[in-house]
Amino acid sequence: MESPARIAPTLESGNPITELVVPVVAGSLHDRVVPLAAELASIWHVPIRLVRVTASIATDDADLDDVLHGMQSWYPHLELSARHLYGDNPATTIADYVVGGMLVVMSSDHIDAWRSEDSVAEDLIERLGVPVILIGPNVTKTELRERGADGEVVVCLDGSAGAEAGVGPGAALAKSIGHALWLVRIVPEPVAGEPLHHPEIAARLQQLADEFNPEVMTRWEVVQDDDPIAGIEGFAARHTVSFLVAATHAHRGEDATAPSVTGALAATAHHPVMVVSAPEVSELPSG
């Protein structure tokens, strides 16, 4: 049977992805990002725009042009372009540039570096309102070559309405790459006297799964782990996973006094993390 045509997903705000935006840093091609962005562009039939932020008002950018020419030689079938952006703050400048329909795909070696405030990725997420696909420092070139977008999508859940905001975009992403969706709920390991099983959690996960089956093959699992990051990573290591999906509260501003769970996940994960926005409501009604 012929596989269904794959089209770019509509992740948030009703805007289908029409362009991938890849930030470029001078002296680094971020070759962990380029193959994944190129694969998604091929699957979704959308262009890639490279952007580089500098404090120079000059319109010429030889470093950016070198990256563009290199990509054009590697991926002649793709529609590629480059844009030099003027600004002192990369996160602010990129956030001002991105409009609906653009999806940022970027690497970060400093995500969750909130203490020193030097993470462009986390700053961009807060300013942009997401979605963004982050490739953290533990995602290797080898893993991306072997797996790429040819794997399942895992949505990370913790029982909050905020986390469930990732289910819809996760399903759209899974459908667009032609793979299954996993809803993974992390719960603490039980202590003496506490139940081993949580029927109410299973019922909620099945309810969420039913919203997308059979359009997207959606399965769920409850993982017991006191560390939610380790629990998600352990689950992903046992499966063929291309993307983790996690929701975060963008625009935290002065409340950003501690690392976000999403930032910690991107900093630790061996898989790209798609970050989506969470609503202000944080708890689901019981039952």
Q: Which domains does the chain have, with CATH numbers?
A: 10-137 (3.40.50.620), 144-277 (3.40.50.620)
pLDDT at residue 255, rounded to an integer: 47
- Angle of helix 34-44 relative to helix 62-74, nearest 10 degrees, comes to 60
| Confidence band for 111, pLDDT divided at 50, 70 and 90 | low
Nearest residue to 240 via CA among 171, 178, 152: 152
Q: Of 78-82, 130-134, 199-203, 211-215, which gets the smallest average pLDDT? A: 130-134
Mean pLDDT on 15-35 = 81
d(CA 266, CA 107): 10
